[in-house]
Amino acid sequence: MIGTLAGGKSLPPAIPLAIGVSWGLIVAAQLTGAAEMVHHDGLIDNGLPVLAALMLFGLSWQTMVMAMMLPSSLPMIRLFRMTSGSQPAQGRLLATFLMGYALVWAVFGFAALGGDVLLHRFEHSSAWLSARPWLLPSSALALAGMFQFSSLKDRCLRECRHPGPFLLRHYRRGPGAALELGLRHGLFCLGCCWALMLLMFAVGVANLTWMAVLTALMVYEKTGQLGEWVGRYAGGTLLLMAVVVGLTGSGF
């Protein structure tokens, strides 16, 4: 899988190792019940100190990003490594590139956590919303489904599908340029996947089933020959699920 996505070329061992370890930690968290600790109820409602809750969330979120997003970015990572091969300290350059990428997702993750906290507090204070617990998950599904058909999704996805032209436009030498390139790639990656990743707040961070399904979808959208068609099909499926959840009043 990793070799195919990377175009058949080798990657630094740390990259597939990070992906494998991340999935291993997530599976272990599910099997032991530790995953509940990083769900909204475990982080906020169980009275953890704010700093401890933020640190625990940051660790779990970055683990999830490594498991879900790194596989979809392997073509870009491989091409950056090949392009920067003539520069000194290539390993540090790649680490700097990945740092920029991770920073984008970290900012998004903490912003989404803040929004999630506010939304749940509003829900708890509203008798109307509390009587309709299906409304939030149905809305999250509808948002993710509609975004699959948006022009912003298409634009950002084109950048992620074609790392060669992206590097031709933005590649520069030096660690500062590597960081900027990682930030740019992270922003485009965020631009095409943010709505799908928001679903993880609705179903629970570290929900193994949803993680596997969404990872497969995001990887194929960026690397598969029928990625555009599959993305549209997924959007329709998410919209249908939103209707079903709304009509039945059930959750995920």
Structure tokens at 179: 């960081």
Structure tokens at 13: 């061992």
Answer yes or no: is 48 within a domain: yes
Indicate the burial class of 132 (C-beta count within 10 angstroms; 0-12, 13-18, 19 or more).
middle
Answer yes or no: is 122 within a domain: yes
What stretches of the chain adopt beta strand conformation (E)? Answer: none
pLDDT one digit per residue (tens) for the chain, 252 residues: 333 343 444 688 889 999 999 999 988 888 887 777 766 556 666 667 778 888 888 988 999 999 999 999 999 999 999 888 788 888 899 999 999 999 999 999 999 988 888 887 887 788 888 888 888 889 999 999 999 999 999 999 999 999 999 998 998 899 999 999 999 999 999 999 999 999 888 776 667 888 999 999 999 999 998 998 999 999 999 999 999 998 887 666
Structure tokens at 150: 């948006």
Q: What is the number of other CB atoms lying within 10 angstroms of the CB of residue 128? A: 8
Answer yes or no: is 1 within a domain: no
Q: Which domain holds residue 142?
A: 13-248
Answer yes or no: is 192 within a domain: yes
Answer yes or no: is 3 within a domain: no
Answer yes or no: is 8 within a domain: no
| Residue written as token pair 């590649």 | 171
| Domains: count for the chain | 1
